[in-house]
Amino acid sequence: MYRVVIWGVFFIFLFLSGCGKKAPPVYSNAYMPKAVLLEFYIKDEVVTLSFTPDYFGETSSGSLEGYIIYKSSSLSNAETCENCPVVFKKAGTVYLRNRQKKAVYREKMEKGYKYHYKVAGFSSNGIFSDDSNIILFEY
């Protein structure tokens, strides 16, 4: 009886140890070029973000395919917490062609809001770059 319990516990742990989310392996030296010099200008209620893809240092983590634009917005007159993290949501995607030198993203804005934007690159293998600088402005 004692052996049956031990074998039962052994098989339970054996089968439970295989549970969990599986994903393709990620190289420990994976590097994805990030966006540099994130800038903006506003004209006719449209914000234009421009940035330069940093192609220097591409490795086996896949070719740079594009950038995801992240945005956070809040009412300008809303109280803000000084040490609270900014919550970003995906605003759009910019796909790159032929190692272009400058990438541009445009979006219509609403008056009376405070906006934060940042950009992160992604590869064909699902590797993401570090975030760009964050820009903040009120409109």
Question: Is the residue at 43 inside a domain?
Answer: yes
CATH number of residue 46's parent domain = 2.60.40.10
What digits encode the pLDDT tens for the residues 71-84?
998 887 777 777 88
Q: Which residues in the chain come in under a pLDDT of 50? A: 59-60
Question: Is the residue at 42 inside a domain?
Answer: yes
Question: Is the residue at 2 inside a domain?
Answer: no
Question: ∠ CA 2-6-9 to the nearest 5 degrees?
Answer: 140
Tell which residue, 47, 51, 35, 50, has the closest CA to residue 115.
47
Cα dist from 134 to 26, 71, 81, 98, 117, whole Å: 27, 10, 17, 26, 6
Question: Is the residue at 9 inside a domain?
Answer: no
Residue 48 sits in which domain range?
A: 29-138
Question: Is the residue at 128 inside a domain?
Answer: yes
Question: Is the residue at 61 inside a domain?
Answer: yes
Rg (CA), the chain: 22
| pLDDT of res. 128 | 83
Question: Is the residue at 20 inside a domain?
Answer: no
Specify the number of domains making up the chain: 1
Question: Is the residue at 38 inside a domain?
Answer: yes
